[in-house]
A and B are shown apart, each in its own frame.
Chain A
Amino acid sequence: MDSLPNGNSAAASPPQNTTPAAAGGTTPFPKLTQLTEALKLEHQFLRVPFEHYKKTIRTNHRAVEKEITSVISNVADVSDSENFSKDDAVNHLTSLVSRLQGLKRKLEEGSRTEHLQAQKCRARLNHLESADAENLAEWNNTRVKRILVDYMLRMSYYETAEKLAESSNIQDLVDIEVFQEAKKVIDALQNKEVAPALAWCSDNKSRLKKSKSKFEFQLRLQEFIELVRGENNLRAITYARKYLAPWGATHMKELQRVMATLAFKSNTECTTYKALFEPKQWDFLVDQFKQEFCKLYGMTLEPLLNIYLQAGLSALNTPYCYEDDCTKEDPLSQESFRKLASPLPYSKQHHSKLVCYITKELMDTENPPQVLPNGYVYSTKALEEMAKKNNGKITCPRTGLFINTLDAVTFDVSLPCIDK
């Protein structure tokens, strides 16, 4: 279904009750479609807390399974073993019972956490539902803040993210905890420790396997290289046997390349192998982790801010924005925005839209454009105002051309494609 451009009556399906603000007819039709399209961009907003919720459910269930299995096999062991006293049996069984009581308590706690996370998912849905014509400005404002919090979290500016979320009370609408989990792994990797990253991999084993991720392999490779760097070659080989060999079937080339480092010292000048010893490799691991992490949670790889900025800048980008007299209301009148927009394409429009140089208002059938004898065009409103204030005389603000009476202005420019 086409999203309607500016109210043109293309063949579109009627607005079934597909949108929020069910109060029939408070929002005009084009705005409604626009709102629906805007909401469709919010996949990440709903997906991330849901993935988090799923993960908690999975983790809790696995703990339950593990404990039950352990208790049952414990019973089996005890019943199969030969020599134990009555006291032993009593003690054993009692301890099993208390383990199970402990499990129940944990289950309760876990259930509470899951409930909170489910509430967060619901809060997101409610927030989307709450968007309508009445509070659109505020809803949009909140969206800007959500986008900025996402940026802060991706760039690791955690303090600012928290402050911003607090100041506008949008803690439920942003995913700070999720990123804090990531922070632990990232900080460790930046400290050249792989343990948290490996733990993360094992937590998410099945999903990483499904997406054929080789992140764990890359972590193991790095540990191997660190062992070689420390000249622990024997340990390195044992390590490789245990942890790298399983990946050999699918990643033989890489495995061979890294194994070859055994033949070199860490300060080798040989370029291929020198690269493997660079501390930059850790930065690469951090980037890899960020990618895997975002993919798992259904987040875009780039910060939302960049995505929206790029699209917006391109849509606003015209050659006229770079002229000196560009209006201050245009973001592209600012140096910083121009810098970001310069490598981006110009916008494209199929319908003429004329803006009066003087009033910056749209010139349409209600306020038609008029042409001065020198070819310069201004809105009827602007020319009439000017004439009123100056005894009927008009001066072209751009060329200084002086016209005695309004009648001297030539005929209206009839532009059949002007949109309302």
Chain B
Amino acid sequence: MELNDIKDAFDRVAKKQKLSCSKTQEVIDLIVQEIEKALETVKSASHLDDKYVLTELKRRLQDIAPLGQLEGTQKELNIALSKYTKILEKSFNPDISKAYRNIEFDTHTVSQIIASHFYRQGLFEVGDCFISETKESECSAAILSIFEDMYQILEAMKSGNLEPALKWAAANSDKLTQNGSDLQLKLHSLQFVEILRKGSREEALKYARANLAPFASNHVNEIQKLMACLIWARKLESCPYPQLVSQTNWVTVAEELTRQFCNLVGQSYESPLSVTIAAGVQALPPLLKFMTVMAGKKQEWQSMKQLPVPVELDKEFQFHSIFVCPVSKEQTSDDNPPMIMSCGHVLCRQSINKMSKNHSRTFKCPYCPSDIDAAQCRQLYF
């Protein structure tokens, strides 16, 4: 798909449109000219008969054939317009609903999902407007209050106020440590650096003693670096640890806070709606391609239990282990679990049964030529 070609085609349309417009103006001017000429002649007490003037005018206008003159530019414009439509249809997939199954989505469920999405993205006004337009009232209240809290903390951070964040981190410090997060330390470090930036060494030192000290045992390196920054109070730009004092640190810490907050309240970090749509963007191309090839099989499409084509998503969409048996190419399941053989290679149970003729003989592993006894294979749990 050449975007430049498409842009060129559109430029041509715009050009032809301008031409058509100016030609139309021209033609109208011509008509006006003729009429005004006739008007002048009639007004002036000339020897010409009025009727004669008018008949002349009618003849002149017929000769000019204004609409005929416009036909040329119109035709060129229409050609450019239809060329653009064609290039759009060629470069893009003109119908992405071809792979759509006629299954109704329950509107209430979809509305709930959308409302939750607005609230967790911080679009509170839009969310409220949506709720009132759809008249959905229940369920979103819970999510709303959770994320309102989070955004209040984040908004405060954006305007340089770390108090709400520190309060939250202190209240949840046990769970944060359990998660292996050093968010509390990071927040205190930010505060420490801000105090230093404003200039007071004593205050900074006091702050460090009160708030950084408890973390000293586990984070010796960071604390040392921070304390070293004391030397560069008021001249933090020249400090040798730019990553500690830069403003982008605030963004990183805000992200960490968001991540921990979502985790602690049992929510995902990314909006599930965004994740699903992103997965859809990756899944549609292979599905649509399949549909163009399998155009006749629309009936089967509506009722199949598994997608007919593999859809490989990026690894951020991989939430569960998928094992595909290298022999049968089937995905393992509870009914047909993966089994590890004595050589360390893994096949699905059905393949092992087949290759050992139902445990009646040994067989050779398809990868290394070791002899395998089916009875010794053990089930794996991913």
Contacts and interface: CB of A to CB of B under 8 A. Distances in A.
B367 A41 contact: no
A319 B272 CA distance: 18
Interface in A17-63: 17-20, 34, 36-44, 46-47, 50, 54, 57, 61
B3 A43 contact: no
A41 B286 CA distance: 12
A54 B13 CA distance: 10
A96 B35 contact: yes
B305 A157 contact: no
Contacts of B27: 68
Given A43-B94, A121-B10, A300-B95, A318 B326 contact: no
B54 A89 contact: yes
Interface stretch (A261-269, A281-289, A343-351): A343-351
B21 A107 contact: yes
A331 interface: yes
Contacts of B57: 75, 79
A345 B379 contact: no
Interface string B47-80: 0001101110110011000110010001001000
A43 B88 contact: yes
Contacts of B89: 43
> In the complex, which of the residues B269, B307, B312 has the most CB atoms of chain A within 10 Å of its own CB atom?
B312
A349 B95 contact: no
Given A315-B313, A375-B340, A326 B55 contact: no
A117 to B, nearest CB: 10
A305 B17 CA distance: 35
A412 to B, nearest CB: 7
A80 B53 CA distance: 12
Interface string A153-171: 0010101100110010000
B230 to A, nearest CB: 33
Contacts of A411: 344
Interface stretch (B122-130, B150-158, B207-215, B244-252): B122-130
Contact of B283 (A43, A69, A315): A315
A367 interface: no
Contacts of A71: 31
B96 A140 contact: no
Contacts of A318: 320, 322
A64 B31 CA distance: 13
A93 interface: yes
A395 to B, nearest CB: 15
Interface string A313-342: 111101111000011111111101101100
B319 A348 contact: no
A417 interface: yes
Interface in B302-317: 304-315, 317
B61 A72 contact: yes
Interface stretch (A173-181, A186-194, A215-223, A353-361): A353-361
Given A345-B306, A346-B307, A40 B285 contact: yes
B101 to A, nearest CB: 6
A309 B105 contact: yes
A371 B10 contact: no
B284 A300 contact: no
B285 A94 contact: no
A415 B74 CA distance: 66
A340 B105 contact: yes
A302 B100 contact: yes
A386 B238 CA distance: 41
A109 to B, nearest CB: 12
Nearest to B116: A336
B344 A412 contact: yes
A330 B319 contact: yes
A79 B54 contact: yes
A151 interface: yes
B334 interface: yes
B380 A377 contact: yes
A144 interface: yes
B96 A68 contact: no
B378 A310 contact: no
B97 A302 contact: yes
A202 interface: no
B99 interface: yes
Interface string B315-334: 10111111110100101011
B25 A351 contact: no
A306 interface: yes
Nearest to B275: A331
Contact of B319 (A125, A155, A167, A316): A316
B276 interface: yes
Interface stretch (B36-44, B194-202, B349-357): B36-44
A90 B279 CA distance: 72
Nearest to B379: A375
A167 B101 contact: no
A298 B94 contact: yes
Contacts of B314: 6, 34
Interface stretch (B107-115, B159-167, B168-176, B221-229): B107-115
Nearest to B342: A411
A311 B28 contact: no
A345 B319 contact: no
Nearest to B55: A79
B39 A375 contact: no
Nearest to A111: B21
B193 interface: no
27 contacts: A5-B310, A5-B312, A50-B88, A54-B81, A64-B28, A75-B35, A89-B42, A93-B35, A97-B36, A104-B25, A118-B14, A301-B97, A309-B280, A311-B279, A315-B282, A318-B320, A330-B320, A331-B276, A333-B268, A348-B307, A348-B308, A348-B309, A352-B323, A355-B320, A398-B381, A413-B380, A415-B346
Given A157-B134, A316-B313, A413-B380, 8 more contacts: A34-B314, A75-B35, A79-B51, A104-B28, A300-B96, A315-B279, A340-B106, A377-B382
Interface of B: 1-3, 6-7, 10, 13-14, 17, 20-21, 24-25, 27-29, 31-32, 35-36, 38-39, 42-43, 50-51, 53-55, 57-58, 61-62, 66-67, 70, 74, 77, 81, 84-85, 88-89, 91-97, 99-101, 103, 105-107, 109-110, 112-114, 116-117, 123, 125-126, 129-130, 133-134, 263, 266-270, 272-287, 289, 304-315, 317-324, 326, 329, 331, 333-334, 340, 344-346, 367, 378-382
Interface of A: 3, 5-6, 17-20, 34, 36-44, 46-47, 50, 54, 57, 61, 64-65, 68-69, 71-72, 75-76, 78-80, 86, 89-90, 93-94, 96-97, 100-101, 103-104, 107, 111, 114, 118, 121-122, 125, 128-129, 140-141, 143-144, 147-148, 151-152, 155, 157, 159-160, 163-164, 167, 298, 300-302, 305-316, 318-321, 326-334, 336-337, 339-340, 343-355, 357, 360, 362, 369, 371, 375-377, 398, 411-417
Q: Shortest 5 CB-CB distances between A and B: which pairs?
A: A312-B280, A331-B272, A308-B280, A315-B283, A79-B54
